[in-house]
Amino acid sequence: MDAKDRLIQELRRVERLVVLTGAGMSTESGLPDFRSKDGLWRKHRPEELASVDALLQRPLLFYEFYRYRLGLLDGVAPNPGHLALAELERQGKLHCIVTQNVDGLHTQAGSRNVYEIHGSLRQARCHTCGRSHPVETLRKPVTSLSELPRCRCGGLIRPGVVLFGEMLPEDALSRAIAAVETCDALLVIGTSLQVYPAASLPRLALDHGARLWVINLTPTPYDAFADIVVTGKAAEVLGPMTRPHE
Ligand code: APR
């Protein structure tokens, strides 16, 4: 039995599963990831674009980047991998999804218990006072400093994502940690496990006696500690889970 069949068999038996997803979960929906050959960070350094420093020191580049990323969300939909995870939750097997993704596709697929530990590109807020703002505000082109989107308090309106150098949302992270500490298995899908603290979750799961399973196109630093490693595309591997058990 190959790794993919073993994983599917385990997913049919597992009782308390937690899933950790990264950008590789959404590439089959048409969204680029970050570190693959045509990923977002192949053309830019994250710190240049996705940081508080960029927001404050290079705002025109910052707003152009996030307007571009918001445009990428138009017309993308959950893929069979997202739908399979929502099905596993409906079957009572999947306790929660901890996602690094900010695209909202897990929720769109019908998953209810989703912890967005890197925030969400579907929301916007004031960088100074924290007030929420419609994300459409960030779709307007910003071509001069006089056009920067500002809150009525005068602060800059920024996407609801965690920028490099910022703390992760405390509530989402603490719930994610509690779930990983008590799961029977952690399934890691579509992440290079390069960014902390998300990348510390596999070790946390193993330290609490959980099994570790991986679905990824390329090797990850935790493959050696995993019981099952499926080298493949998330939607292709998980797609059969959306069909009732034959
Ligand atoms: N199926 C499975 N794996 C895939 C697929 C796919 N269809 N497509 C890509 N991958 C794999 C790639 O091989 C890569 O190892 O998904 C991984 C994506 O890794 P990254 O591009 O580094 O994305 P991610 O791990 O989510 O990045 C983490 O870094 O830039 C920050 O905040 C950003 O949340 C992001 C964090």
Ligand 1, residues 162, 217, 218: which to mutate, most atoms within 8 A of Cβ? 217
Closest C-alpha to ligand 1, atom 28: 195
| Phi, psi for residue 46 in degrees, rounded to 5 | -50, -45
Does residue 82 carry a catalytic annotation?
A: no
This prediction has a pTM of: 0.97
Do the beta carbons of residue 138 and residue 63 sit within 8 Å? yes
Closest among 135, 142, 126 to 61, alpha carbons compared: 142
Cβ count within 10 A of residue 140: 11
Residue 195, Cα to own-chain centre: how many angstroms?
A: 12
Do the beta carbons of residue 198 and residue 191 sit within 8 Å? yes
- Strands in 114-116's sheet, in edge-to-edge order, are 114-116, 94-99, 17-21, 185-189, 211-216, 228-231
Calpha distance 51→239 (Å, rounded): 35
Which domains does the chain show, CATH number per domain? 1-31+78-118+167-246 (3.40.50.1220), 33-75+122-161 (3.30.1600.10)
pLDDT in tens, the chain (246 residues): 999 999 999 999 999 999 999 999 999 999 999 999 989 988 788 888 999 999 999 999 999 999 999 999 998 999 999 999 999 999 999 999 999 999 999 999 999 999 999 999 999 999 999 999 999 999 999 999 999 999 999 999 999 999 998 999 999 999 999 999 999 999 999 999 999 999 999 999 999 999 999 999 999 999 999 999 999 999 999 998 876 654
Do the beta carbons of residue 85 and residue 61 sit within 8 Å? no
